[in-house]
């Protein structure tokens, strides 16, 4: 986004010395002084950001130092402080809570990486295959976007139906293809991990597709023409021209997809409700269930803060490393 084009003079209406009605002009300028106007304009947005994001976040950090259980929910400010005790419980690998949190963290990491890689791959495949015009291209592109357009719960609940053992489409399909005996449990046990990855990729790959289609459109045709003249085949063109030119898009896309999948709550919540199998126990729903089943909000807040810290570290390292490699400036 071009940020540079902001001549300071812009804040003042062009000092046109129009002699018409100077008094009227002066009055208007005082009542809507350009000095205060931008602050007035952003004020409502700032107020709501504070109310729903910033203040609760600060309150959350504070809550993570309280012994905030069901007895103090109605007047949480009176809950006794316990320092870092909640954090100690959360990361204590010998305790049941810490052990479960670490397992949840590892599951989430594996889930996020698998979802990001597959979503990106499908998105890239679709974008490249649709790069050249052919009949029906517009229709295919629109159809590909449907999973992203559906409300999350409508899409995921359909998958829940499809993954049912006895009445589901997935088992029926696998059996008729001769791949399984059609009696696989997809929503309990270790298979639940594959289920959440597939559902998450189904929902997210259209977003990667959309971003990559836009990225490909911004590559000038001349580059490909020049490459063809030089005798570069399509695979070579892709590797040597397309991929490097897409680097800035990929950089942002990977980060956004990672943050979304790492924070994902909807897929496991809608697929499993309260009884989430350990193999699909993503951090968000792990913290959620811990907080609302035991009503230990202090511990839940401590886990949320740890989650935030991890994401901040990952984001910063990712951005710094990529800036050093020069991808950001490309």
# residues contacting another protein (CB under 8 A)? 107
> To 10 degrees, what angle do helices 152-163 and 169-176 make?
50
- Find the binding residues for another protein in span 133-162 (CB under 8 A): 134, 140, 142-155, 157-159, 161-162
**Cβ atoms 265, 288 nearer than 8 A:** yes
- 293 forms part of the interface with another protein (CB under 8 A): no
The residue (of 42 and 243) whose beta carbon lies closer to another protein is: 42
Minimum distance from residue 329 beta carbon to another protein (Å): 19
**Cβ atoms 137, 223 nearer than 8 A:** no
- Find the binding residues for another protein in span 173-192 (CB under 8 A): none
Applying CB under 8 A, which of residues 167, 230, 324, 329 lies at the interface with another protein? 167
The residue (of 123 and 277) whose beta carbon lies closer to another protein is: 123
Any idea what the Cα angle at residue 67 is, between residues 65 and 68, rounded to 5°?
100
The residue (of 94 and 311) whose beta carbon lies closer to another protein is: 311
Burial 78-95 (b: 16+ CB within 10 A, else e): ebeebeeebbebbbeeee
**Cβ atoms 128, 306 nearer than 8 A:** no
Minimum distance from residue 190 beta carbon to another protein (Å): 22
- 275 forms part of the interface with another protein (CB under 8 A): no
**Cβ atoms 129, 139 nearer than 8 A:** no
The residue (of 74 and 324) whose beta carbon lies closer to another protein is: 74
**Near another protein by CB under 8 A, which window of 69-77, 81-89, 91-99, 241-249?**
69-77
Structure token pair of residue 254: 């990977």
């Amino acid at each position: 986004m071009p940020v540079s084009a902001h001549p300071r003079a812009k804040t003042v209406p062009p000092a046109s010395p129009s002699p018409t009605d100077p008094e009227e002009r002066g009055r208007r300028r005082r009542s809507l002084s350009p000095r205060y106007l931008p602050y007035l304009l952003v004020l409502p947005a700032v107020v709501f950001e504070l109310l729903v994001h910033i203040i609760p976040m600060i309150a959350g950090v504070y809550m993570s130092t309280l012994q905030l259980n069901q007895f103090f929910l109605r007047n949480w400010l009176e809950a006794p402080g316990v320092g870092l005790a909640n954090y100690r419980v959360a990361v204590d690998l010998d305790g049941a809570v810490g052990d479960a949190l670490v397992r949840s963290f590892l599951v989430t990491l594996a889930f996020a990486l698998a979802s990001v890689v597959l979503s990106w791959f499908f998105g890239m495949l679709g974008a490249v295959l649709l790069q050249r015009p052919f009949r029906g291209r517009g229709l295919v592109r629109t159809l590909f976007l449907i999973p992203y357009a559906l409300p999350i719960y409508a899409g995921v609940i359909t998958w829940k139906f499809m993954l049912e053992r006895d009445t589901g489409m997935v088992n029926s399909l696998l059996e008729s293809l001769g791949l399984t005996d059609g009696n696989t449990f997809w929503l309990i046990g270790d298979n639940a991990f594959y289920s959440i990855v597939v559902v998450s990729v189904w929902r997210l790959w259209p977003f990667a597709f959309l971003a990559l289609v836009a990225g490909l459109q911004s590559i000038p045709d001349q580059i490909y023409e020049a490459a063809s003249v030089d005798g570069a085949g399509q695979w070579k063109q892709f590797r040597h021209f397309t991929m490097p030119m897409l680097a800035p898009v990929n950089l942002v896309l990977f980060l956004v997809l990672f943050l979304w999948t790492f924070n994902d709550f909807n897929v496991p919540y809608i697929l499993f409700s309260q009884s989430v199998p350990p193999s699909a126990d993503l951090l968000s729903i792990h913290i959620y269930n811990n907080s609302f089943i035991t009503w230990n909000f202090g511990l839940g807040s401590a886990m949320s803060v740890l989650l935030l810290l991890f994401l901040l570290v990952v984001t910063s390292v990712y951005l710094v490393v990529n800036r050093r490699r020069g991808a950001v400036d490309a």
